[in-house]
Structure 1
């Protein structure tokens, strides 16, 4: 028979894209091992990596429950499938190149007023916004579709013609029509004429409350108001708005008495003055912490479960295990209609209170075994999960002799289930040994415990010691171990009864036993006399139980015998102080106060008891003398005012929080830096005070015992330094500290784009395709740029200056570049003597062919450039100084900077300074600052076009490098190229 465990097998785990014709995203490579071995591989890291790329796991047949399968000759691959994640793009979440106008349409309602001369009101313009939701593929970034407009139709507010003394409008009400995104604009005109019939009669006016979310329907019936001409209209909207607020409405506009405005009756009988109060529905957060009447709890709270059920063990089958996970989410609800708003501003997805169901150990059932030891941990989901575990009955062990013949005198017995592992069994040690035979050892891992098994038995004598440490299934433990108990039982205190006090003593001895003849040898060599493990039972103090007294304080100490001892302690309930009112009736909210049991003696109560205070009442006695611990005593209390502290830490049901707690904030808005604009910075504070309330009637007591003045938790908002944004400078270095007031503060900090370095040729013309780097913002001051800015390098050009000094951070600076031909011409004429700033900021005469510097001091710099971003400089060593012959690599090495760049996702392409520990020196013929370049790039592969361009540059450098030995002129050209491309040899 072949040994399967020695057969090799291999398997590959493939990750595929269901939305791209099962395209393979990655794979594990070939994994090898022996058949039956666990595959030592996990999909977790790759699944996490693909999730970051926008993929969503659909099915993981390999290790979805955290346990990998074994190698098999029948399966050589597993397919883990994914689909593309989808993301909603809204006006508040612009992504994938979407612009606001792709998602939003604005409509206007314009009301023109004419005819009242200089009194004619300005046009009144109302605006509404339609927003739609687009859906994008998170992997490809492509648009999938649209969920349509959030609101298909919206209503403009109704506009009431303003009252103008001496004029009459031709229309009292206009507007308020519903519009769609396809035709969102409306326009109206109200014309006034002179009131030629001034009336002295009683005038009429009405206030309408309109619901803009319900096509401007009237929420309540309009109130008709009357009064004399040119007199004040004696009406307020406060009470009505308060009622509507309680019904879920909030004010959009108040055309009657907003901001304390006062209205007067007109002098015309031709129309009724009308004032509009426009309201909309409140949208409120509803969840488990914020329930709302009318909203079913199941809308925001659910419970999922995993049920592990067991079968196959008949009456021994364990009960099923149920694991529960609570799920919660936030809802956005229209407070007026109690309608749940899908995708509202508070709406969130379902979220579990814990991420997974914990692992469950399969119970051991005697006489049965299972295929698995544990139900593994599993990720929680809303749908219920059912796991079924089946038990299989253990097979019989059939005893046979050395010749394989069945031994008729021995019964066949079943395998014994392992006490710790339900998948394992053992030979039933007690059942397989009899008076004549002993079984041979068997490797149980090679057999099926569900099938009958033949085991060999051999005749043998065996003398063993039997005692508490060496038991035997054929020997009654009473032959060598006896347990004697002393029990104190407590009665009379109901569920407060202490547990029985149980002391046990073990009497032990050793006996000599023959396992073959099943005989106990009384005079055997291992037999000893009986001996207890202690000499006496300890005294037992009766526990003190609050509200009860006992009849025995201590059960005394007793000597140990081989007989059990028993005692009973009885408790009786203590009497109590019964609070009664002035009419002799028991106070309903006051419970009887049982007498206090003496903590040092459970058979007594305290002789004198202090009468406790009851909230809202005054006691008439300070204490009582207790003569009978079982008899109640009545005490009279008198009702008194009950002043309570009310504040943020002690809220009160009838007092609104704004009466004692007002939150305020300072918001700094940063604008002008496009997508780099920092997020608003918010500092908060809170004004607080304490109030005094009589708890008997809920009224606030002015100048009460707890009442305090308003105070704030901090005196000022701290100053905020403006964040530095690369490529921009701000209009202020910091926002100064502001004193905290009871009103919110808004501050705006504006950013402006930095100027650029513009390369031009010797004629002053801009060089095509040249990089124009933006000034580098001062990292210590957001309002400034670095005064000295390095100029960019250009292929086939040399800059007149190595750096510039910036005076105006918003203005561009032109830098002149020379071609190699112009440089050689100027060099041979020796008329190129432009004075420039060196890298360290000191003045030096420097150009590409300048004369050797005086003295022995030389300078060098190591620059790091990003080949994946037009070779821009991203780091530098700074200026390194030394004498001719000094080793530059003793002053600086690239290892630390390279390590930092690797953490940012770069890899080294070329190291022109210290590759593999190479050394560099300050040279005698060095005529300028020696520049060494370390080229890096992002780990991502170059695009084919850039690869070709890099390949051409490399070939060009190589050809010029080979030609450099021909003559002195070519050597000079090579030095120029080497200045531009420091990586050339």
Structure 2
């Protein structure tokens, strides 16, 4: 919408002084432009210049919110007003020619001492200063007035008469009176006389703590101090001053023990010695970073806000926007009284954390408009600000034609709200589905968008769909419909040529036609891409014609295009097999046999063809290999008889293969291990012999020239070690080797579930919820379990034995567990010894109960063997000695040696000494050195890049190893394990 006018306008911005009868300080000069155009001018530089001269901005009606107005015919000037800035001049801020004596008055308190001869103290002079604050005009530099004295009244300190040995003062305390700047001076005289009556009685003294800021009031009650004449006064002000410091006081003077001074009792009973400690109130800085108990936070921290609220848009009304600004200032506070000191030395004015509220864009609400586009940036102030924005509903636009008649087919719509500016509206788009109307351009600047408005809408376009189902007399059908064909022609086979193969595709599309402009719109709303009724021409198999071969077997499937496609297939006559005798002449009674065309491929003949028999002749070849399907092949026939070899490598069509080749096998069936049952193991063999056959009649000749006896490709099926299945044991260690005969052999190996360790209590009853671990199958012998099995640990129980010896792998073994109460009872009754041991040697949950035995000496040794090197010993614990019943694992554990071996590239395969913290003891029936074995093997160290490949290789090797089931390797491993575990058979 265009809201500018071509009418010219001018404006001037004036800068005036409110404190000098609106005197003009400067102006912008005449600024010109068209009405509605933004005035390209800013007051910022001029305001900054005047501020440096001491002026303070009061009002800026032009662009104080950061946005310049537009030229208007109603306003030709703007007045930016200023006042004179004011500045306080103090003793610490001397300006405008002021001298210190103009701002200060000093007062003195003089105490004269007389009568003590040469011992008379010097006069004591105290000074106080009165300061006033003057106010000056920053523009003229002239004095405006005074804010008065900072303190109207001040007190001098109280002075105590100094003690002089042998003299008595006529006054103990003088001074301390309050004075004003008008009469600031005071004088006093203290006269001493000789002490004619020296006293030996106990003397008195007191220390007074006076508040000079409260007319020398006593802060705390004085303590009466007593002592013998001329002795040290045993008192210190330190503790009292510390307490007063915590209450907000600070020392002005200390007349008792400043600088470590020492005071003595006098010798006169006529007066009480008095010492004055003068204090004043501390003035402290209080602000947000330095709060003080007793001072309300609101005294130095406030939050102001600007609320922008919206109304008038019903449910679409935006929520109000709240902008917050934190204000802070410094306070000067009397720490003793908690009184805020106005204009104190730390006091500052309120200062906002940011200078202004940022501008807020008024949200656009569809169907509504506002008077302003944004709430402008505004300088922050302590008082809260509320801005109210009202939305007005847009009026209706009533569409009429060129004659001003209402267009009944078009609905009346409201003015369209501008998407970026809530103050602007535009005429809405108003069209039917296939009829496009456009409104005439209208200057909306003079229109109230809240009222209904009649606007002319002209029909510009009328769109219709044209396609095979909706034709139009103005449109050629070729614009939306096409037919494409694909033709395959056959030639070369005469009257056997197949008919042409013809496929057709219909291409269609829809187009958009504008009945007003008479144009076809290529990208119109109804226009679609060309689309065929199928995606591709089907592949066409070339027909097979007996006696002919084609140059193309299949005309391939082809994507449909918008152009016709053509292909030609040519046939040629096949060659033939020509029978000839040994002299190369054609055999008269034998007709040529044409090559057979491949029924699955018309471009080929059968690659090999069986040579036909001719009565009275023997073929020299069984078949011929055809390389050129069009070239004849001569085949020689020889008169019979003709004996031929028949065997696996020379089969004969009339002799069945089982007459000369019989396959047999041995199958080992594994049963009884449920889902863990290994798959059947099959070994195969084959019996073979050769036969002699008369080629002319196909008969087998007994004892012919090629006939041999039956023979087998191996003598026996190799022995098969039974696979180890965890949790089960088998009925046989291996299936022995069997001789091969001409019948299949079936062998069954049965697995039986291993027994369990059953935890029972001292009564022999099974312990509820206790795990019953299944015996561990011997990894080297599927028929056995490990002879020694560790017992499980149970919470709140201790086992009678750390392990058990299994005699029958299928029977369960009960292990007695004792509760802690039973252990305690047994310990007191039988002297029961309990041991608690973990892997690292530290105390853990009890897992072993051992009865005491006689103290006979026994020996043991732990050896480490390398399975990678024929079980060679590579380390040892040395001989371990102890009494029967002593725990061997208290003397030695394998952890340190295992860690050293791991660093050398070994890994533990079996730990027969202390696996998982198990304990071993010197036994009563031990008659030789007990030997425990830890078996390790070398592990190849791989680089990170090799790890993936090694993992794949390892997996393949394992699979091959499992499949091969090498008997030799099993025997070797069994020997090694037997060396490590002597109990193995």
TM-score, normalising length: structure 2: 0.48
Write the deviation string for residues 669-708 of structure 1: whole angstroms up to 9, x where unpaired.
Answer: 9999999999999999999999999999999999999999
Alpha-carbon separation, structure 2, partners of 1:168 and 1:685: 143
1:621 to partner: Cα distance: 90
Q: Which moved more, 1:353-362 or 1:246-255?
A: 353-362
C-alpha spacing 1:609/1:804, structure 2 compared with 1 (3 Å): closer
Shift of 1:65: 1.2
Say if 1:251 and 1:464 are closer, same or farther in 2 by CA, change over 3 A: farther
Any conservation in 2 of the 1:646–1:652 contact (CA below 8 Å)?
Answer: yes
Q: Report if aligned partners of 1:912, 1:982 keep a CA contact under 8 Å in 2.
A: no
For the residues of structure 1 that align with 2:689 and 2:191, how far apart are their CA atoms? Answer: 54
RMSD: 50.7
Preserved contact between residue 835 and residue 844 of structure 1 (Cα < 8 Å)? no
Contact kept in structure 1, 2:210 and 2:276, CA below 8 Å: yes
* 1:461 counterpart SS class: strand
The yes-or-no answer on 1:890 pairing with 2:890 is: yes
Contact 2:660 2:689 in 1 (8 A): yes
Equivalents in 2 of 1:99, 1:395: separation in Å? Answer: 73
Whether the aligned pair in 2 keeps the contact of 1:287 and 1:330 (CA below 8 Å) is yes
Change (3 A) 1:164 1:132: same
Judge conservation of contact 1:833–1:846 (CA < 8 Å) in 2.
no
Q: Distance in 1 between matches of 2:453 and 2:221?
A: 92
Deviation at 1:660, TM superposition (A): 108
Change (3 A) 1:974 1:844: farther
- CA offset digits 1:604-663 (Å, max 9, x no partner): 999999999999999999999999999999999999999999999999999999999999
Post-superposition Cα deviations, 1:378-427, rounded to whole Å, max 9, x if no partner, equal 22222222222222211111121231111234321112222222122233
Deviations 1:433-470 (A, max 9, x none): 67686655656566443232223344565449999999
Q: Is residue 790–residue 803 contact of structure 1 (8 Å, CA) maintained in 2?
A: yes
> The residue matched to 1:614 in structure 2 has which SS?
coil
| Distance 1:438-1:122 versus aligned 2 partners, 3 A rule | closer
Report the 3-state secondary structure (helix = DSSP H, G, I; strand = E; otherwise coil) of the residue aligned with 1:648: coil
* Stretch deviating more after TM superposition (40-49 or 761-770): 761-770
CA distance in 2, matches of 1:239, 1:737: 108
- Superposed displacement of residue 243, structure 1: 0.5
- Going from structure 1 to structure 2, the CA distance change for 1:718 and 1:892 (only over 3 Å counts) comes to farther
Greater shift, 506-515 or 169-178, is seen at 506-515
CA distance in 2 between counterparts of 1:590 and 1:193 reads 180
**Conserved in 2, the CA contact under 8 Å of 1:760 and 1:766?**
yes
**3-state SS of paired residue (2:810):** coil
TM superposition shift of 1:340: 0.7
Name the SS of the counterpart of 2:5 in structure 1: helix
Q: For the Cα contact (< 8 Å) 1:642–1:694, is it kept in 2?
A: yes
Gaps of 5+ in 2: none
For 2:493 and 2:387, how far apart are their aligned partners in 1? 46
Distance, in Å, in 1 between the alignment partners of 2:373 and 2:599 is: 52
Distance change in 2, residues 1:609/1:782 (3 Å): closer
Matched position secondary structure for 1:845? coil
C-alpha distance in 2, partners of 1:596/1:804? 82
Greater CA drift, 451-460 or 96-105: 451-460
User: Is this contact kept in 2: 1:11–1:30, CA < 8 A?
Assistant: yes
User: Does the Cα contact within 8 Å between 2:800 and 2:850 map onto a contact in 1?
Assistant: no
1:20 Cα offset (Å) = 1.3
Q: Contact 1:853/1:927 (CA < 8 Å) preserved in 2?
A: no
Verify the 8 A CA contact 1:463 1:515 in the aligned structure 2: yes
Cα pair 2:870 2:976 within 8 Å, conserved: no
Q: Deviations over 1:788-821 (max 9, x none)?
A: 9999999999999999999999999999999999
Deviation larger for 718-727 or 295-304: 718-727
Greater shift in the superposed pair: 169-178 or 584-593? 584-593
What is the CA distance between 1:45 and its match in structure 2?
1.2
SS in 2 for 1:6: coil
1:961 is paired with a residue whose SS is: helix
Q: Aligned equivalents of 1:351 and 1:713: distance in 2?
A: 108
State whether residues 306 and 324 of structure 2, in contact with CA within 8 Å, keep that contact through their aligned partners in structure 1: yes
Q: Is the 8 A contact 2:654 2:698 kept in 1?
A: yes
Note closer, same or farther for the CA distance 1:811–1:153 as it changes in structure 2 (3 Å cut).
farther
Matched residue, 2:402 = 402
Checking the alignment, whether the CA contact within 8 Å between 1:106 and 1:127 is kept in structure 2 is yes
Q: Aligned partners of 1:247, 1:659: CA distance in 2, in Å? A: 125
SS at match of 2:430: helix
Contact 1:802–1:839 (CA under 8 A) maintained in structure 2: no
Residue deviations 1:38-61, cap 9 Å, x none? 222221111111111111111112
Does residue 515 in structure 1 map to residue 510 in structure 2? no
Moved more, 295-304 or 513-522: 513-522
Deviation of 1:287 (Å): 0.4
Distance change in 2, residues 1:705/1:681 (3 Å) = same
Q: How far does residue 286 in structure 1 lie from its aligned partner after superposition?
A: 0.4
| Contact 2:489/2:568, CA 8 A, preserved across alignment | yes
Deviations along 1:538-570, whole A, 9 cap, x unmatched?
Answer: 999999999999999999999999999999999
2:879 aligned with 1:879: yes
Instruction: List gaps (5 residues or longer) in structure 1.
Output: none
User: How far 1:331 sits from its partner (Å)?
Assistant: 0.6
Q: Which moved more, 1:231-240 or 1:574-583?
A: 574-583
Task: Report the more deviating stretch, 128-137 or 845-854.
Answer: 845-854
Distance 1:112 1:250, change over 3 A: same
CA distance in 2, matches of 1:313, 1:386: 19
Q: 1:11, 1:76 within 8 Å by CA — same for their partners in 2?
A: yes
The question of whether the paired residues in 2 share the 8 Å contact of 1:113 and 1:122 is answered with yes
1:832–1:847: 8 Å Cα contact kept in structure 2?
no
For the pair shown, which has the larger CA radius of gyration, 1 or 2? 2
Q: What is the CA–CA distance in structure 1 between the aligned matches of 2:227 and 2:188, rounded to whole Å?
A: 30
Q: Deviations over 1:514-540 (max 9, x none)?
A: 999999999999666999999999999
Structure 2 Cα separation of the partners of residues 746 and 179 of structure 1? 132
SS of 2:776's equivalent? coil
Moved more, 930-939 or 246-255: 930-939
Evaluate the alpha carbon distance shift between residue 387 and residue 767 of structure 1 in structure 2; reply closer, same or farther with a 3 A threshold. Answer: farther
C-alpha offsets along residues 322-356 of structure 1, whole Å, 9 cap, x if unaligned?
11111111110000011111111111111111112
Counterparts of 2:833 and 2:241, CA distance in 1: 83
Task: For residue 383 of structure 2, give the secondary structure of its aligned residue in structure 1.
Answer: coil
**Are the aligned partners of 1:912 and 1:933 in contact in 2 as well (CA < 8 Å)?**
yes
Please say if 1:124 is aligned against 2:124: yes
350-359 vs 618-627, greater mean Cα deviation: 618-627
C-alpha distance 137-18 of structure 1, shift in aligned 2 (>3 A): same
Q: 1:69 to 1:468 in 2, by over 3 A?
A: farther
**530-539 or 907-916, which deviates more:** 907-916
Give 1:185 shift.
0.5
Q: Deviations over 1:473-506 (max 9, x none)?
A: 9999999999999999999999999999999999
8 Å contact from structure 2 (residues 410, 430) kept in 1 = no
Q: 1:673 to 1:572 in 2, by over 3 A?
A: closer
1:957·1:984 contact (CA, 8 Å) conserved in 2? no
Equivalences, count: 985
Moved more, 840-849 or 454-463: 840-849
User: What is aligned with 2:592?
Assistant: 592
**Does 820-829 or 565-574 show the bigger shift?**
820-829
Higher mean C-alpha deviation, range 477-486 or range 342-351: 477-486
563-572 or 975-984: bigger deviation = 975-984
Kept in 2: contact 1:615–1:642 (CA 8 A): no
Deviations 1:284-303 (A, max 9, x none): 00000000111111111111
Report deviation, 1:66.
1.8
State the shift of 1:71 in Å.
Answer: 2.3
Q: Secondary structure at the match of 1:25?
A: strand
- CA 1:936/1:615 → structure 2, altered by over 3 Å: closer, same or farther? same
Answer yes or no: is the 8 Å Cα contact 1:722–1:730 preserved in 2: yes
Q: TM-score, normalised by structure 1?
A: 0.48
Q: Which moved more, 1:901-910 or 1:230-239?
A: 901-910
Which residue of 2 is the match for residue 71 of structure 1?
Answer: 71
Q: Distance in 2 between matches of 1:423 and 1:130?
A: 63
User: Could you list the per-position Cα deviations for residues 545-599 of structure 1 after superposition, in whole angstroms to 9, with x for gaps in the alignment?
Assistant: 9999999999999999999999999999999999999999999999999999999
Cα displacement (A) at 1:131: 0.5
1:822 is paired with a residue whose SS is helix
CA distance in 1, matches of 2:648, 2:283: 25
8 Å Cα contact 2:609-2:625 kept in structure 1: yes
Per the TM alignment, residue 428 of structure 1 is displaced from its structure 2 partner at its CA by: 3.2
Whole-Å separation in 1 of the counterparts to 2:914 and 2:193: 92
